[in-house]
Amino acid sequence: HMMLCLMIDRIARIPTRTVLLLLCSLCIISLQILRSHDSYYAVEAWTSLPPQHRHKQQLYTTHLFDRTRVHRQLYYQPNSQQSTLEEIPEQRHHDIQSTTSAAASELESSSQINPSNHKLDNLRILLIDNHDSYTYNLYQYLSTMTTYPVKVVMNDAFSTLDEFIDSLDESEGRSSGDKSNLLQQHFDCIVLSPGPGQPSHASDMGIVLDTIRYSSEIPILGVCLGHQALGYVYGKEVTLAPCGPVHGLMSSVYYSSNQQNESDADDDDADDEREQLSCQLFRGIQQNFNVVRYHSLVVDFPDDAFSEDSEIEPIAWCKGLVGNEEEYPSDICMALRHKRYPHVGVQFHPESIGTGEAGYQIIRNFCDFAYQYKMNNKKEGVIEGESIEAAESSLPTTVQLKTNDLIASKTSHRQIYIHKLEGQSSSSSHPEEVFQELFSSRENSFWLDSSTGKTQLDNGEDNEGCPIISNSRFSIMGSNDGPLSRKIEYFGIEHPKEKRGLRVTSNSGNTETSTIDTDILSYLRQTLIEDGGFSDHVHMVSFNETEGDQTFHAANSELPFDYRGGYVGFLGYELRHITQCSLFELEGGHGCTINDSDASRERTNPNVPTAAFFFADRSLLFDHHTGDWYLVGVANKGEEVIDDMLGWMKGTQAQIEAIGKLPSSTISSSSALNSKNANKNAVEFVPNRPKDQYQMDIARSHEEIRNGESYELCVTNQLEAEITLPKRSDKKLHESPFDLYKILRTNNPAPFSAFMNFYNKDDDDSSDASASLSICCSSPERFLSVKQDPQHENFVVESKPIKGTIARYIGDEGESESSDMVKTINDRIMQELRDSTKDQAENLMIVDLLRNDLGRVCEVGSVHVPYLMNIESYATVHQMVSTVRGNLDGNTSNAIDVIEACFPGGSMTGAPKQRTMEILNEIEEGVSRGPYSGCLGYISLNGCMDMNIIIRSAILTPIPNTDDSMECWKASIGCGGAITALSDSNDEYDEMLLKSRIVRHSISQWAAQQHSSFT
């Protein structure tokens, strides 16, 4: 520096003192830049907004996510007195992406929580559910910390707090005293869950506010809305967050120093008394730890937050940015405590998978405090329960699923027979050809089609490690013409009263239809149990061709698949009315009623039931990995029945072998279509709600999010078209939709595709009592699977939610998908999706929601996230996919209970699920979504299940037509997207059209093909 100074002094004749001052200033600036480089916080860029509206856009302090879809990036340095927003230089962009990727890896690693081995003896916890979709994440954590089962109750299950206390007295013995003493006799601490709404709205809070008021001597932890309720009761205003809504994003939280350690022994008596009542909520947690936030409101602490007049005080904060011209930082309260009562609250979500170990530790600290408080303040008259291991019970005491009442100790009278047809003799029999020849002409048939499936012969590789291929290994097909087969149709609230109910059409001898006064899930649960429970005892059948007889042997371990015959069908979205009522009643509610005015029945398709299933007693399964076929038969005990089953197996084997010898023309003819004609004469689809209305719906969604009513809303639309086609003389009406499905599966192969036909025996039968529809589905998303755990006696439940979609680069005409250019472009597109703030937030919200749903039925401590935000590629799109798993105790619950706990899929609703669905019903004008947004798949006789989410699908229903030479169809395509605070109305409308594009194009190809065959 001295040499430089002398040179400058000599050349420029500038005084040395001045030069030294300049150099010192440059050094300080350089150090500050380096410091900010290591600790920058990427925030949401506002450059996409017009200048006059930039103050309305929330700016998030977060070191996890950054936007790569905008050219300008902003960063915020929290260590300075005045925050600075500046454009990140272009050369730093790569470093930001690297940091984001590393942080995303950190988030994935946080998905594995190590529960404490030490449980608190008989700590009695009351968890009040504010109709949230994350409550059971809290339940799962809490249940690992106490030997006493956690009690869960919805906040409006009882009209008053007195009524709730009376219900406790009736079940545990009459007690006396005021409300505070009565609550303390039953519970040692209370946790108030997150939820939609505002604490100032009594209808949102139920018994919560009175619980706070009458529990001054009971430790309370409030989370999000529960935190806000504490602030509201103790005199603070709950206002809109100065930074705007924050949902699914992460922030750094710092807390007051006296929250880290206990007070010193030298403190005066007043401080000792205060610390005795204080919960050291952040003990063992480092400063500036990362949390996930889902909130639009905050507890507002004015400048005199620490004045003696205030009953509560803030104890933790994060940095937010207030939308004024100066963009000054604002401390947002992230935690509070009461100065005299053992009440604490956190605004963020400790139970989120993104908060990780720190969140678990916070809840553990509260439980430790509550246990010590209990020991220090033990009173007479406290009702103690027997100590039991909470982990042994997968459900709270208030949530005893209906299966428990139905389990019977009897042997199944169903017998399962499976015959394997080796791939060497049938490998040339493609599933499409087999379905075409054996089932496409049937009025009622199904094909659960893993259309992305590949055999080893196709590519010479072992695909077990590929998530797409491994999900696509097996395809299942059949019809309902077996001797035990049944067709079950359920018409729910979206249909007129005279049509509602469940109809069962049996195929035993004469076809008979009966109407049953129950819902579809109750029927499935009851019949599965009445059939003798779930059975996995399989008779493997081998035929001796030379001697003309057969042999049987048990071989469950030899089978690579879980399907054993059973129920195959779909559950439409409107079944939500049944599942939500069931959950309300299971959490203490009584007399749940469905609002009869919710549905717009005049716009409901009468041909489409709410749900429909086949009991498949005879079906085929194809292994894409080996080329083997399996014939799966279900029969009652009896020699004649078995002989009939064996005859079916022999005949079907001969048919499959014969199909393999035919020229392979089906596939080539169905896929070699004139795409140009389809584009030229494209079928015109009309949206149920036009673009202007859809954008208004998004604005309404943003308003609901700002007001704290929802974190995320999956707004959907229906694209509809009426199609008139020439009628083929060689085919019946119900056979036409399969031609469409062949095109769709070629254009958009997907692991959870399906084709289903539900028709009467006579196509001309226009009875309103029965269904008439075809489902052509190319779904990439698994909703739920239940598989047997070979290492244990329980089941493994899995869900694979998709949130985050971006168009895949297909390449120009004649350009190979394997070319370096196509790969490079798609790699860049996938990275863009991987780094998208909006898509990461959406995915995280749904992952937390599914953890909650599985937490209702899965064993305590078993719900985990092995894969978080993986990118999977399909024919036309790349998608962000996560995997959530948990263990299910088959002795206490089954696949129907899993559906009841999780349906509809959170990726098609948003969160919190119940309130969000109510808002969506208003936005979508009460129009039924039909099968779209529901699920489709099988429920096997051995207790296993696999269900997709019905997306990327067309629903076809026939339209009455007087022209015998023509056939008319109504085609409906459901599509939509998740709306968050970060959503743009134009982007969301375009995304909706993108998701429907391949289905619309396939329908246009189908129509063009039908017309061209008559020219």
Active centre residues (catalytic): 224, 349, 351
Classify 235 as helix, strand or coil. Answer: coil
> CA 920 to CA 914: how far, in whole Å?
10
CA distance 802 to 471: 14
The structure tokens listed for 393 are 């019970």
Helix, strand or coil for residue 218?
coil
Strand spans (E) along 734-876: 752-758, 773-779, 782-788, 795-800, 802-807, 864-873
Rounded to the nearest 5 degrees, what angle is found at the Cα of 997, between the Cα atoms of 877 and 749? 50
Which residues have C-beta within 8 Å of that of residue 274, sequence separation ≥ 6? 339, 340
∠ CA 250-252-258, rounded to 5°: 140
- Strands 414-421 and 538-544 turn out to be parallel
Of the candidates 746, 738, 748, the residue with the CA atom closest to the CA atom of residue 776? 738
Cβ pair 71, 92 in contact under 8 A: no
Q: Are 620 and 478 in contact (CB under 8 A)?
A: yes
CA 428 → CA 424, 448, 547, 648, 689, distances in Å? 8, 20, 27, 21, 47
- Cβ burial of 380 (10 Å; 0-12, 13-18, 19+) is exposed
Contact, 227 vs 346, CB < 8 A? yes
Token pair 């709205």 is found at 201
Rounded to whole angstroms, how far apart are CA atoms 629 and 615? 20
3-state DSSP assignment of residue 795? strand
Alpha-carbon gap, residue 834 to 107, rounded angstroms: 13
Ramachandran sector of residue 762 (left: φ over 0; alpha: ψ -120 to 50; beta: rest): beta
Quote the tokens at residue 183.
């609550």
Phi, psi torsion values for 876, nearest 5 degrees: -120, -10
Structure tokens at 634: 């279900």
What is the longest distance spanned by two Cα atoms in the chain?
114
Instruction: Answer for the pair 336, 315: CB distance below 8 angstroms, yes or no.
Output: yes
Using an 8 Å Cβ cutoff, are 490 and 519 in contact? yes
Distance between CA 882 and CA 871 in Å, rounded? 9
**CB-based contact 157:403 (threshold 8 Å):** no
What are the helix (H) ranges across 707-784? Answer: 736-747
Residues 807, 809, 813, 816, Cα dihedral to 10°: -140
**Tokens standing for 376?**
């220090």
Peptide bond into 912 cis (omega under 30): yes
Could you tell me the CA-to-CA distances from 96 to 66, 841, 843 in Å, in that order? Answer: 8, 18, 21
Instruction: Look at residues 972, 960, 498, 491 and name the one whose alpha carbon lies nearest to residue 766.
Output: 960
Q: Which helix (H) or strand (E) holds 41?
A: strand 41-43
Which residues 6+ apart lie within 8 Å of 379 measured at CB?
181, 184
Query: What dihedral do alpha carbons 389, 394, 400, 403 form, nearest 10°?
Result: -130
> What does the alpha-carbon distance between residue 425 and residue 660 come to, in Å, rounded to a whole number?
8
Distance CA 488, CA 516 (A): 10
Q: Which two tokens stand for residue 983?
A: 């959503």
